[in-house]
Amino acid sequence: MATIRFVFEDDSIPPVTIDGVEEGDTILEVTEEHDIHLNHNCGGVCACSTCHIYVNKGDEYLEEISDKEEDFIDRAINPRLESRLACQCEILDKDAEIEVVIPDQKLIIGHEH
């Protein structure tokens, strides 16, 4: 089973490591299942940029970025080369080891579903 380590720009939130992540899950689904706050206004259908994250490690274990996802990332706050949308980050390998940075959610106009 895959492992995802979540670190947060908001340094008042300690890092969280989730083991036992299923192949085929998205990073957004993992945040929802484990009560990790990540806004996602569109409900996870790649129609906004509120679930914007940074993938620091393990991007080779994720579904490739699409043109549509890239278009929405351009609208996110502080996009970088390692930017992704959590709703589009499907885990492709049961042995994946991934590290994700969640941007400060106080800066994002949105809500958690």
User: Which CATH number does the domain housing residue 75 bear?
Assistant: 3.10.20.30
User: Is residue 112 included in any domain, yes or no?
Assistant: no
Q: Is the pTM of this model over 0.85?
A: yes
When mean pLDDT is compared across 3-7, 27-31, 41-45, 54-58, the lowest value belongs to 41-45
Output phi, psi for 61, to 5 deg: -95, 5
pLDDT of residue 110: 58
Give the mean model confidence (pLDDT) for residues 6-24.
97
Mean pLDDT of the chain: 94
User: Is residue 26 included in any domain, yes or no?
Assistant: yes
Q: How many domains does the chain have?
A: 1
User: Is residue 113 included in any domain, yes or no?
Assistant: no
Question: What is the C-alpha separation between 96 and 2, in angstroms, rounded?
Answer: 5
pLDDT of residue 109: 67
Please answer whether residues 83 and 52 qualify as being in contact, where contact means their C-beta atoms are separated by less than 8 angstroms.
Answer: yes
pLDDT of residue 51: 96
Residue 81 buriedness (CB in 10 A; 0-12 / 13-18 / 19+)? exposed
Question: What is the C-alpha separation between 91 and 99, in angstroms, rounded?
Answer: 12
